[in-house]
Amino acid sequence: MSTEVLTKRCWLAAIMSIAVALISLPAVAAAQESINVVVTIPVLKDLAEQIGRSHVRVTSLLRGYENEHTYSPKPTDLVAVRNAKLLFEVGLGLEVWVTSLVKNAGSPSLRVVTTSDGISVIHDGSEDHHDDHTEGSMRSSSGNPHIWMDPDNVAIMVRHITHALAEIDPAHAGDYRSNQTAYLQKLDRLKHELMEQVEGLADRRFVAHHPAWPYLAKRFGFTIAATIQIHSGAEPSALHIQSLIDTIRHDRLKVIASEIQLSQKLPQLLSHESKAGVVVLTTLPGGLPGTETYIDMLRYNVLQLVRALRN
C-alpha cells in the first residue's frame, strides 16, 4: 500500500472521529445540564442546593430580607417559574401568591412540591394566614407555617426535596441520597450542640416580634411570653402595646426578639418603655450577615437568644 493511500486513510479516520465527537456533544451537554428549580423562600433554596449541588440551578423568589407574608411576585418570577422543572414551596398558607403565579406561568410540565407535607403543625391561634381559596376575612386552619424554625421539620422537608429530585433526575439519584445523608447528620449535630447551650439558662422567656418562633421555642425549650404583632400584616392596637409594656415590666422579661424582615419601630418602643433588651433575629437565611445558609441561620438565632437571655 502506498504512502499516499495510508495518509488519506489516516485523514479520513481523523475526520470521522471528529464528526462522531461533534455529534455526541449535544448528548453530553444535555447530560450535564443543570435542572432549573424555583423555590419560594431562601431556606428552600439552601436546602435544594445542599441536596442537588452541581446538578441543580436554584432560583429563590424571595430574598432573606423580604417578608414572605407581604411579597408580591415580579415579572422575572413568572419567567423563572416558566423555565423551571420543579417548584418547592412550604405550603400551609404561607405563600398565598404561588397558585396564581404558577397558573400565569402556564407550564404544564412544572411539578410543584409542598415541603410541609407530613409535618405536625402548631395551631397556636395567633397567626392569620389564609390558604389559596379563602377570602381575606377568613382564617386558615392550616396552622402556623414557620415549620423550618425546627430542624426536625427541616429534615422532613429535605426528604421531600431529595425524593422529587431523584424522581425527575434518576441518573443522579444516588448523589441526591448521599447528599441528604451527609446534610441530615450535620443538622442533627448542630441541633444537639445548640440544645446544650440552652440547657444552662435559668430564664428562657422572650417577647416575640410576630408568631414565627413557636417551632424553635418548642424544640429548644424557650418560652414565648408575649407577641407584639399577633396577626401578620396588621399593626397592633395601642391597647395591646400598653398591655405588652405592663406585662414586660410585671414579669421582668429581659429580651424582645425582633426580626430583620419587619419594622423595628415597635420593638424599640417597647424596649424604651420597659428597659428590656432587643435582639434582632432573622426568619430567613441571608437576612443578616453570617446567616447565608439554614444551618448558619439556626445557629445565629439560637446563640443570639441564649446570649441575650444570659446577659
Question: Taking each helix axis from N to C terminus, what angle separates 265-274 and 238-251, rounded to the nearest 10 degrees?
Answer: 40
Distance CA 89, CA 240 (A): 33
- Where does the chain show beta strands of DSSP type E? 35-39, 56-60, 86-89, 111-114, 205-208, 223-227, 255-259, 277-281
Residues in the chain with pLDDT < 70? 1-32, 125-141
Encode pLDDT of 227-260 as tens digits: 999 877 778 999 999 999 999 999 999 999 999 9
Cell 444570659 sits at which residue?
Answer: 310
pLDDT at 311: 85
pLDDT at 66: 86
Q: What's phi and psi for 303, nearest 5 deg? A: -70, -35
Instruction: Please state, as a whole number, how many other Cβ atoms lie within 10 Å of the Cβ of residue 121.
Output: 18
Q: How far apart are the first and last CA of the chain?
A: 93
Distance CA 115, CA 87 (A): 10
pLDDT at 4: 52
Single-letter code of the amino acid located at 108: P
pLDDT at 9: 53
130-145: burial string, b at 16+ Cβ within 10 Å, e else:
bbeeeeeeeebebbbb
12 Cβ contact partners less than 8 Å away, ≥ 6 residues apart: none
